[in-house]
Amino acid sequence: MKRIRISALILCACFASAAWGQHSTSQVCTGWREFHRPDMMRWNPCEKVLNVNNVGNLSLKWTYTTGGPVYYSSPAVANGVVYVGSDDNNLYALKAKTGTLLWSYTTGGPVDLSPAVANGVVYVGSPDGNLYALNAGTGTLLWSYNIGGPSYYGSPSVAHGMVYVASNAYAYALNASTGTLLWSSEVGGPVQKSPAVANGVVYVGSGELLALNASTGDLLWSSNAPDGNSSPAMANGVVYVGSWDGNVYALNAGTAALLWTYTTGNSVESSPAVTDGVVYVGSRDGNVYALNATTGALLWSYATGGYVFSSPAVANGVTYVGSYDGKVYALNAKTGAKLWSYTTGDVVDSSPAVSNGMVYVGSYDGKVYAFGLP
């Protein structure tokens, strides 16, 4: 390992995360407010409408056509509104039930990344070098922070009044209310994925996986496990991340010790979803994998018809994911059996969001799709 430094903070974080089980009574039921959701695991424990028995009846409820492809921007859902970015430089706010446009905000570059919503504010980055904070109800600009551009960075993560974002060779923490820079930390690079924030620690990939003190930006540890392709996820004291080398890595969140690896057939750009002791992840080899979270043993795999850059979303026993074959899939989370699929007009790299009996996802065809039960 390279320059490993461990503090009491991260050791405590490891024990705290173990207490934060998948069925914790402290879980606050919300929408799908950011790429990872606040628990960093891309699962929604609040979903009670859709399940393995009825998801096969999903039907198209509405579409909204943006002015350009919806590449990697994954919808955020909060308070009855869907927020999603488009390659036409705009962030859109759509009514969740009908797809009606509420407002749009134009940035200086393609909004190909996922927004995050917290406390009535929506945060989104753009390759124009800025991180924007907008009033979630009106789209009015509250503040922007110029990280320097052009910047190609991951989606923001919001926790405890701070916004975390990674750009090129740095990770940043900003005051969520004012946009004031609290710290920046050089992490190597380039960094083009979202940081994961849990238990006072920021995990970011930049050719290696780093753990930073969320309050100060100080390095807690770094791992020489290859990285650079997938946004990390943290669950139950373990950090999971995919890599260009085709492997999924599991590392101890407190020590950076390698726990296991699983080799897919190609690079892994999909961010893992973790719930009920299972890691779900996609690969450029076209497969969705379900792995034992403790051992890395393969539980099942499902072959789509194209690359899987989309990150799975798990809710109430169902795994949702998009594919380069233009389809969005619903799979049985326990068996991998296909329960439902829908063919859009182009590639689906956007990662689905599941909330209140609806599934939202974007496509290269420039549309945002919403599916629900009849």
pLDDT digits (tens, 9 = 90+) for 135-179: 999 999 999 999 876 555 668 999 999 999 988 788 999 999 999
**Which domains are delineated in the chain?**
8-372 (2.130.10.10)
Give Dmax (Cα) for the chain.
55
Residue 73 has pLDDT above 70, yes or no: yes
Overall average pLDDT of the 93-104 stretch: 98
Residue 188 has pLDDT above 90, yes or no: no
Residue 340 has pLDDT above 90, yes or no: yes
Lowest mean pLDDT among 36-45, 74-83, 180-189: 36-45
Residue 26 has pLDDT above 50, yes or no: no
Residue 205 has pLDDT above 90, yes or no: no
* Distance from C-alpha of 237 to C-alpha of 253, rounded to nearest angstrom: 5
Nearest to 122 by CA among 92, 146, 145: 92
Residue 12 confidence (pLDDT): 33
DSSP state at residue 154: P
> Taking the model in full, what pTM does it have?
0.90
Overall average pLDDT of the 177-204 stretch: 88
Lowest mean pLDDT among 35-39, 73-77, 91-95, 318-322: 35-39
Taking all residues of the chain, what is their mean pLDDT, rounded to a whole number?
87
* Distance from C-alpha of 167 to C-alpha of 187, rounded to nearest angstrom: 10
Residue 9 has pLDDT above 70, yes or no: no
Do the Cβ atoms of 160 and 169 come closer than 8 Å?
A: no
Residue 113 binned pLDDT confidence (cut-offs 50, 70, 90): confident
- The strands making up 101-106's β-sheet, listed across from edge to edge, are 76-78, 81-85, 90-95, 101-106
What is the share, in percent, of the chain residues with pLDDT greater than 70?
86
Do the Cβ atoms of 373 and 50 come closer than 8 Å?
A: yes
Residue 166 confidence (pLDDT): 85
Residue 51 has pLDDT above 50, yes or no: yes
* Distance from C-alpha of 280 to C-alpha of 122, rounded to nearest angstrom: 27
Overall average pLDDT of the 313-321 stretch: 96
Residue 227 confidence (pLDDT): 60
* Distance from C-alpha of 307 to C-alpha of 288, rounded to nearest angstrom: 10
Residue 214 confidence (pLDDT): 96
